[in-house]
Amino acid sequence: MNQLLLKDQDDFERCFPEARRFLRSAELRYEAFALINDEHRNKWRENRLVEVMNTPACQVAWFQKFINDKQ
């Protein structure tokens, strides 16, 4: 089964590179949002939040506004 899923994933990434980038950006924004709202903050999570927030995916204007409006 894993071989089949890996083949599908490889085909998806090869056929739809823009979709792959879009999904990765969405994952990074979700991670940033989750880290911001994390009640169990620690040094590692704080560092990861800084790292994720500095990615281009999290620098888009609408996401920055969304984050600022939530705080």
| Domain segments of the chain as ranges | 24-71
Cα dihedral 35→37→42→44 (10° resolution):
10
Tokens standing for residue 50: 């800084």
Q: Of 67, 66, 64, which is closest to residue 36 (Cα–Cα)? A: 67
The answer on pLDDT for 1 being more than 80 is: no
> What pLDDT, in 10s, does the model give residues 3-51?
888 999 899 989 998 998 999 999 999 999 999 999 888 999 999 999 9
Instruction: Say what the pLDDT of residue 2 is.
Output: 86
Q: What is the pTM of this model?
A: 0.80
